[in-house]
Structure 1
Amino acid sequence: MSQKELAELTNEELLQETKKTKSTKIFDAAIFGFLIGVAVYSAVRNGFGLLTFLPLIYIPIAAKNKARSKDLEVLLKERNLK
């Protein structure tokens, strides 16, 4: 959802989206930690290779999720819901 689509949501829907973003933050951290572990294991075991740079693929996805979370927080503050 873009900023415009977030602005069109009702207060209840915004609060539900906030709950979803909390679980998304945990999921992003878990996936990124796992990918870092795979990269370190790959670098130690086989030297630098394709799996060593695997976490770099997930960075744009996590950045997009974080930006959406920030937009949601701003919208919640505008509506005095948080």
Structure 2
Amino acid sequence: MEKNNYEEMSNEQLLAEVKKEKTSKKYHAFGIGFLAGILIFGFGAWILSPEKRIGFLIPMIFPVFFIYKLLKNPRNTSELEKVLKERGLI
């Protein structure tokens, strides 16, 4: 991923970056919620099933892994926020 030099950007470009960040955060929140819903549904189905087979829980590892990856790598926006505050755009 390319590193942006926020201090060389114009005000319009900075505001476009803020918009991208907000959209990205919404998609991440939706993805985490969707995967959490899959987990809850899967565990609920496993608990309510008359035959408790452990093999049914193995596919539940995938949503846990993807949720972990989404939470582990958040985008660092502190530099962008610092430049926005300096220019008085926030």
TM-score normalised by the chain length of structure 2: 0.64
For residues 3-82 of structure 1, the aligned pairs below 5 Å read 4-46=4-46, 48-52=57-61, 54-67=63-76, 69-82=77-90
- Amino acid corresponding to residue 71 of structure 1 in structure 2: E
CA RMSD of aligned residues (A): 2.5
Number of equivalenced pairs: 80
TM-score normalised by the chain length of structure 1: 0.69
Alpha carbons 1:6, 1:72 under 8 Å: kept:
yes
Unaligned stretches of 5+ residues in structure 1: none
% same residue:
29
Give the superposition deviation at 1:25: 1.6
The structure with the greater share of residues assigned to helix is 1
Larger Rg: 2
Distance 1:64 1:9 in 2: 25
Distance 1:72 1:22 in 2: 12
- Amino acid corresponding to residue 28 of structure 2 in structure 1: D
Instruction: Name segments (4+ residues, structure 1) moved above 4 Å.
Output: none
